[in-house]
Amino acid sequence: MGLGDRWAETVYRIATTKGRRKILLTPLGLIFWFGLSVLLVFASLALDGLLPVRLPFFAPVSLSLGWLLVVLGGSLCLGTVYSFSKARGSPVPLNPPQKLVTTGLYSRVRNPMLVGWFIMLFGLGILLHSIFLIFIFTPLFILLNALYLKNVEEKEMEKKFGQDYLNYKKSVPMFIPRFGRRS
C-alpha cells in the first residue's frame, strides 16, 4: 500500500466516523488549506520584490480583470459551500456530506470549489501585479491539488461511494467543465 493509499484510508476512516476527532480535525484541515494559500500569496509578493520586472497591466485593466476573477472565483466557492451545506456536510474532506453531490456546479465539474479558488488566486495575482503568483505559485498550487485529488481524495471517494463515484468520475471532468449536451 502506497502513501496515497494510506492517506486515503486515513481520510476515509475520519470522514466515515462520528466523534470528536472529526470535529477537531475539520477546522484544522481548513486552516491548513487557507494557510497554504496565504503563504503562497506572501511568498509571491516577497519574490516579486526581488525582480526588476513588473507586469505591464494598466491600472484600470488590472483592477477590472483582477476583481472580476476574484468575484467569479469567490462565487464558485460560495456555490459549492451552499451545495455541501444542503447535503449536510462541508467541503473539507474530513467532514464531507454522506451522499455524493452531483448536482449544481458539481454536474459540470468535480471540483468547482478548487476551480473557484484557482481563479481567485489568478485574480489576486493580477490585482497585485505578481509575476510569481500568476506564473509559478498558482500553477504549483493547482498541480499539488491535482496530485492530492488523484492520489488521495479520489481513492477515498471510490471507497466510500463505489460505482456511483466511478460513473460520476467518467462523466464529469476534474477541473475544466464541458459545456453543451450532457451524455
Which letter does DSSP use for residue 64 in this model? Answer: H
Sorted by where each starts, the structural domains of the chain and their CATH numbers stand as 3-171 (1.20.120.1630)
pLDDT given at position 131 = 92
pLDDT given at position 91 = 66
Report the distance separating Cα 161 and Cα 57, nearest Å: 46
Would you mind telling me the total number of residues written for the chain in this entry?
Answer: 183
Q: What is the CA radius of gyration of the chain?
A: 18
CB 26 within 8 A of CB 94: yes
**Does pLDDT of 15 surpass 90?**
no
Instruction: Convert the pLDDT of each residue in 77-123 to its tens digit.
Output: 998 888 877 777 666 666 677 788 888 888 999 999 999 999 999 99
Instruction: Give me the long-range contacts of 15-23 (CB less than 8 A, separation at least 24).
Output: 15/93, 15/94, 15/95, 15/96, 15/156, 15/160, 16/160, 22/94, 22/95, 23/95
pLDDT given at position 146 = 94
CA-based nearest residue to 95, from 8, 173, 2, 24: 24
- The mean per-residue pLDDT over the stretch 31-43 comes to 91
Q: Which of 1-5, 48-52, 85-89, 92-96 has the lowest mean pLDDT?
A: 92-96
Which residues, 6 or more positions from 157, have their beta carbon under 8 angstroms from its beta carbon?
Answer: 100, 165, 169
Q: What percent of the chain has pLDDT over 90?
A: 49
- The mean per-residue pLDDT over the stretch 40-65 comes to 87
Q: What string of DSSP letters covers 78-119?
A: HHHHHHHHHTT--SSTTS--SS---SGGGGT-S-HHHHHHHH
Q: Which runs of consecutive H residues, i.e. helices, occur in the chain? A: 3-15, 20-48, 59-86, 112-127, 131-132, 138-148, 154-161, 163-171
Report the distance separating Cα 94 and Cα 91, nearest Å: 8
